[in-house]
Structure 1
Amino acid sequence: MKIKATLDRIPGGMMVVPLLIAAVINTFFPDLLRIGNFTQALFVDGAGTLISLFLLCTGAQINVKSFGVSVGKGATLLATKWAVGAIFGLIAYMLAGDNGLWLGLAPIAVIAAMTNSNGGLFVALVGQYGSKEDRAAYSLLALNDGPFLTMVALSIFGAMGFVDGMFSFTSFISVLLPIVVGMVLGNLDEDMRTFLDKGSSMLIPFFAFALGMGIDFAAILEGGLSGIILGILTVFVTGSAGYFVFKALKWNPIVGAAEGSTAGNAVATPAAIAAANASFASVVDIATVQVAASTVTTAILLPIYVGFLVKRLEKKGYNFEQGNSEKANI
């Protein structure tokens, strides 16, 4: 029975499928796994611990030694992605209704989805249409993995009066310390980076399932369409922003467009945010579902959008032969 192969064929399947299965169980059979001991500890109550370990494994993949490679492109990608997501998040907070939602979207879902990019998808697209220098830019773009930049945006909004409460220094440290520990281990020992890299993938379905056990099916129905809309916004707004910024700088614009996705690990960001500041707890469920829906939507839509952009550039004389881009007059 090819369970993994089947999940791999579904965009974001390792995360989305366990989350949805758990949400169905929680909705119709809420006490099925709430039987105590190891079963409940892993499948129901384990989200916080599993996410913490996941962040540690993810942090180990950030290689500080490679920051000097293509740092300009990486920094541009990082800044563009964050700025666009933060601006839309601020708009969402300013225009949110009494239920705390804007067009059905939780503002923290907007920030989490639009500031986190799918590294695998980025590398795949840039590997096809970019150069080695372009691919190396991800060494810095990888910093948008996890909740850090989302917390930075929310803290700024708190200072501006748009968010109830700010993150204390201790709150920042409590969420970021696993990432820092992972970075230290990964950069001190390449073997540890390789070892922990396996955990990054393995933990996703388990913390996704635990998160799903805190979601009611009604929240999925409510968040599904709005999550798709969030994915569409992520592709066309953040992807287009990156495209035009890179085009203006005379760089391969496809590399800029390739960051217009939502990372699969961004599904853990709302829970991590709520762990650091309880004022966000009320929207964690719907935000988690919306980020998950955005992940799937961007995984499907971004390659199509990039393909459309590539055809336009090729008509204007841009060459993407064997991953080496040669600028034309665009």
Structure 2
Amino acid sequence: MKVLVTGSSGFVGRRVTQMACNQGWDVLTHGRTADLSRQPSIVCALESNTDWSSALMDVDCVVHCAARVHQMNESPEEAQHAYQDANVLGTLNLARQAVNAGVKRFIFISSIKVNGEWTKNGQPFLPTFDAQPEDPYGVSKYQAEVGLWQLADETGLEVVVIRPPLVYGPGVKANFLSMMNWVSRSLPLPFGAIPAKRSLVYLDNLADLIITCCTHPVAAGNTFLVSDDHDISIPQLLRLLAKVMNVPSRLIPVPPRLLLWGLSLLGKRAIGQRLCYPLQLDIRATKEKLGWSPPVSLEDGLRHTVLAYQQQKEQQ
């Protein structure tokens, strides 16, 4: 089994590469810069005119983790053009060349943002839906999905789409890292009264599903949602992190409407919505079709994440 993992130096791609190697597969890695720790590897950008021919020789499955994510200091027009070129045109260019090279299966790591930014109470997202992406990143992932399904119909390429929510694990950055920093300092946080629940996915759970989809006979032609199968509110998450860190949890019960109003005044309405609104995924179809379940529990995932965080702080 020969696999090309794009974006293999990224948070998800690196773990997928490790797991694929543990399976004894022949793994070819890809990144924008050279990774001297991984051989063989290919260095190129994800663009509409990238030549992937040398990377696709004798490959059985492409795991496409590479993507353009949020960048600061861009106008909406610049962001939309950049996402379109990388996430849509770059992805479809790779997929077409994969077909020409005889690749059998193409696994696309999409995003739950394709479904939307939040769910209604008691109505978790399903794999089948009316797409409601709201930002340029979500739109680009949706457009890539549409193009891949068209290519699958035309050529017989076995396409698998996976839509994860927020991914956490050892080495996590961005908002989750900020939360751990807040909790570790025992800062008073105004999130104690938020009831909305969210789905998260631990890095190893996502990577395990990706590896499963590389070879599973019924995976092709499906869109899979993935999570830890244990939804949690922001206050519950912060208390769990504090418990694992063995520090006091100081949550102030500010009413969600007041919190959202205050953040809106500060120009942070989108952050307020992510904090105060639910975002839940129904993964029953994933579990039933693949006979799969998340191998790592939410609490164990948080414990591994915090341990890596604490070890890194000690080394600084």
Structure number having the greater helix percentage: 1
- The higher-RCO structure (CA 8 Å, 6+ apart) is 1
TM-score if structure 2 supplies the norm length? 0.29
